[in-house]
Amino acid sequence: MKAMLLRVGIDTACGGTLGPIFEDGSFEFVPIPEYPGAPRAVPVYSETPGRWGRVLSTYVPKALIDAPMHYDPEFETCTYGDPTTIKRRYLLKLHQGDLLVFYAGLKPYKNDVYETALYIIGYFTIDRIIDFNESTRKQIAAYCEEFANNAHLGRDSWYHNLVIASGDKNKSRLLDHAIKISKRKPNKAGRLTYAISAEMEQQLGIDCFIERSVPPRFVVGETYLANLKKILAE
């Protein structure tokens, strides 16, 4: 068994902001914007209620208020998809029972209890990893129906390079409270960026910069995986 950490959600490079974290540690998962001209109806920020009483457009720049969202991962049927070269390669390393752990950049919303940082927001326990490049047209048609909630379905009739990670719905969830995993640290160029925190380094056995989603980071080893499961259960 292993766990892969992957950054998701709106950020300053893709969307111009970060999702909110509230005074009690709860948060909203705010997806990145969908690309312009998406070929099917997709949810928009102004019409999508968050979990804590406000529509998601509350937390995005004015230019995105009525923009469509790329809702991925989605935690209703628990799917995540990606066709990009690096991410698909790493997703294909996952197997049934592995963990796909999602983290996101969050900033405090009307509070000074929390700080802007990277936080674990949810996870999937992998049920299946599906490579559309290895699937027949008949299988793809079935997957399009089964995974209709995923943002990538309907984008491209050929689904070239798409990999779908399907989570076990009984063992996957969006957390109620975010878990901080980062600290600010200068990189080789001297720029302050996000690295794994000292506490999480000790708990998870990884020491690296995690500002970007690639390459994804893996947690391995019985002790570190047990620590991760304990963290996710809190």
Distance of CA 6 to the CA centre of its chain: 6
Question: What's the Cα-to-Cα distance from 212 to each of 113, 129, 179, 191, 209, rounded to whole Å?
Answer: 25, 23, 18, 14, 8
Residue 223 lies in a domain: yes
Residue with tokens 């056995």: 205
Residues 84-88 have a mean pLDDT of: 95
Residue 85 lies in a domain: no
Phi/psi at 91 (5° precision): -60, -35
- Residue 159: the pLDDT is 86
Distance CA 31, CA 22 (A): 17
pLDDT digits (tens, 9 = 90+) for 15-63: 999 999 999 999 999 999 997 666 566 789 999 999 998 999 999 999 9
* Angle ∠(59,108,29) on CA atoms, nearest 5: 50
Residue 180 lies in a domain: yes
Overall domain count for the chain: 1
Residue 48 lies in a domain: yes
What is the pTM for the complete model shown? 0.96
The chain-wide mean pLDDT, for the chain, equals 94
pLDDT digits (tens, 9 = 90+) for 190-226: 889 999 999 999 999 999 999 988 899 999 999 999 9
Residue 144 lies in a domain: no
Residue 161 lies in a domain: no
Residues 147-152 have a mean pLDDT of: 91
Question: What's the Cα-to-Cα distance from 144 to each of 41, 132, 140, 149, 210, rounded to whole Å?
Answer: 15, 11, 6, 9, 32
- Residue 183: the pLDDT is 96
Residues 62-84 have a mean pLDDT of: 95
Residue 28 belongs to domain spanning: 3-75+99-127+169-233
Residue 89 lies in a domain: no
Residue 179 lies in a domain: yes
Judge contact between 151 and 34, C-beta under 8 A: yes
Beta bridge partners of 192: 186
Residues 89-98 have a mean pLDDT of: 98
- Residue 219: the pLDDT is 98
Tell me the pairing of strands 99-108 and 3-7.
Answer: parallel
Burial-class residue 208 by CB neighbours within 10 Å (0-12, 13-18, 19+): exposed
pLDDT above 80 (res 229): yes
Residues 110-126 have a mean pLDDT of: 97
Distance CA 76, CA 96 (A): 19
- Residue 169: the pLDDT is 97
pLDDT above 70 (res 155): no
